[in-house]
Amino acid sequence: MATATPTITNGVNVTQLVDTVELIKKDPSLARFRFRSRTRWEQGGRSTTEISGFYGAGGEIARARVHTLAGDEPPVLLGSDTAPNAVEAVLHALAACISVGYVYNAAARGITITSLRFDAEGELDLHAFLGLSETTRPGFERITFTATVKADAPRAQLEELCEYVQRTSPVLDIIRNPVPVSIQLVIE
């Protein structure tokens, strides 16, 4: 029996994407994922995070390699500027998630993307972080995001894609809606 050649659009295996959706329709438990990370402080404002395995598609999945992300602060915030800081990493996570949403969903709709760029900016006030205010929010007060896309689809179709991606982006949802977070302290 010959295997059909997969359809690839925007570097995405659309055949596999459609097959995955169909599998999840048949067994919704396959859609449950649990991602993990381990972060170690190094010195000053610098820390590194390792990301390896995760739970998904019904079982534990080991990655081929451990991914390492670094975080630091710029000198004006007492760091060594060896890596982006945590709030910059949030902007990256948002843009990376929306990028995947655009590319995968465009591919599923037969839209070829020639170029895609996101410009993100977040504003925050350090008063709360520095312990100088009980009323100032410690996180971003607002994020502005611009998506610039060149594709073989009419504007109306790209606008609908943009709206759809915003409705289905996990990271955008995490930012827009409160997520319960519990922190357990272990003293060694």
In a shared domain, residues 153 and 170: yes
Q: What is the pTM of this model?
A: 0.90
Which residues are registered as beta bridge partners of 131? none
Question: Which of the four pLDDT bands, split at 50, 70 and 90, describes residue 6?
Answer: confident
pLDDT tens string 28-37: 999 999 999 9
Are 104 and 167 in a shared domain? yes
Task: Please give the span between the terminal C-alpha atoms of the chain, in angstroms, as a whole number.
Answer: 59
The pLDDT of residue 47 is 97
Same structural domain for residues 102 and 117?
yes
Give the Cα separation of 63 and 66 in Å (integer).
7
Per-residue confidence band for 2, with pLDDT thresholds at 50, 70 and 90: low
- Do 79 and 123 lie in one domain? The reply is no
Pick from 39, 48, 44, 121: nearest CA to 75 = 44
Domain end position, chosen among 34, 54, 83: 83
In the chain, the number of structural domains is: 2
Q: Are residues 23 and 55 both part of a single domain?
A: yes
Q: Average pLDDT, whole number, for the chain?
A: 95
20 — phi, psi (to 5°)? -65, -45
Whether 72 and 89 share a structural domain = no
Measured CA to CA, the distance from residue 16 to residue 4 in angstroms comes to 11
Is residue 152 in a domain? yes
Strands (E), the chain: 8-9, 12-13, 34-35, 38-43, 46-51, 54-56, 59-61, 67-71, 113-123, 142-151
State the pLDDT at residue 5.
86
- Residues ≥6 apart with Cβ < 8 Å to 66: 50, 51, 52
**Among candidate residues 83, 113, 131, the one where a domain is terminated:** 83
The answer as to whether 188 is a domain residue is: no
Q: Does one domain contain both 64 and 93?
A: no
> In the predicted model, what is the mean pLDDT of residues 3-30?
90
Residue 98 confidence (pLDDT): 97
CATH code: domain of residue 121:
3.30.300.20
Examine the pLDDT at 3 and tell me if it is beyond 90: no
- Asked whether residue 104 falls in the same domain as residue 68, the answer is no
102: tokens are: 């655009």
172 belongs to a structural domain? yes
Whether residue 115 sits in one domain with residue 156: yes
With cut-offs at 50, 70 and 90, classify the pLDDT of residue 27.
very high
Single-letter residue type at 110: G
For residue 159, give the 3-state DSSP assignment.
helix
Q: Are residues 13 and 90 in the same domain?
A: no
In the prediction, which pLDDT does 158 show? 97
Residue after which a domain boundary falls, among 83, 111, 140: 83
pLDDT > 70 fraction of the chain, expressed in percent and rounded? 98
Q: Are residues 11 and 58 in the same domain?
A: yes
- The residue segments making up the domain with residue 43 are 7-83
- Co-location of 78 and 114 in the same domain: no
- The residue ranking higher by pLDDT, 185 or 6, is 185
Instruction: Write the pLDDT tens digit of every residue in 53-97.
Output: 999 999 999 999 999 999 999 999 999 999 999 999 999 999 999
Q: Which strands sit side by side in the sheet containing 46-51, from one edge to the other?
A: 38-43, 46-51, 67-71
- Is the residue at 141 inside a domain? yes
